[in-house]
Amino acid sequence: MFYIDPYYFYLVLPAVIFAMIAQARVNSTFNRYSRVRTARNITGADAARAVLSASGVTDVRIEPVAGNLTDHYDPSSNVIRLSQSVYDSPTVAAVGVAAHEAGHAVQYAMGYSPIKLRAAIIPVTRIGSSLSLPLILIGMFMNAFSLIKIGLAFFFFSVIFQLVTLPVEFNASKRAIAAISEGGLLYEDELPGAKKTLSAAAMTYVAALFVALAQFLRLLLIFGGRNDRRR
């Protein structure tokens, strides 16, 4: 007989569906405002430079990168990489996304505490994500609850990472909108489009937290009480 995991259906599946809806929303919102040209003909690259300049950050490069919505700031090389649909595009969506990534560069330059914390736990999160499930399975096979607990603890770092990511992303968007508004990069009637684009993107990070938390709770419910059941 096949084992049906009720925790997956009650916990993980709703979170995954929410994540899929959030991703579909960010795609549709970005596509919608990618068709709205900026009246001042400001491109994504222009917007990123303006945000950096407004904060006095002058040592960050801005480069194009292949792909769609592959925009990111790379702190290891101090480079903002903007996707093809953002870098040279004079659209409201491009300005919003590029300004957001520039916001991350400003966070690093200003020593913003949450982003420093997130950077510090990335190595532990990567190790934990690769070792957590093997440790849990080995612990179950060897009847070693200590290994299961270590595996669960490692997996919990993924939840912590997603939790720390939220203020980082919301703050970057806040900086972006403020810089766009104060710098006059978009007209007043264009600004809501940039806000909606960044708001939709922010929900994907909320969804990622829900998925990580749901997966952790599922593992905890399945494996967390094994030591008690042996007594």
> Which residues are annotated as catalytic?
101
Question: Which CB contacts under 8 angstroms, 24+ apart, belong to 41-44?
Answer: 41/90, 42/90, 42/95, 42/185, 42/186, 43/87, 43/88, 43/89, 43/90, 43/94, 43/95, 43/98, 44/82, 44/86, 44/87, 44/88, 44/89, 44/91, 44/94, 44/95, 44/97, 44/98
CA distance 106 to 168: 11
> Amino acid identity of 134?
P
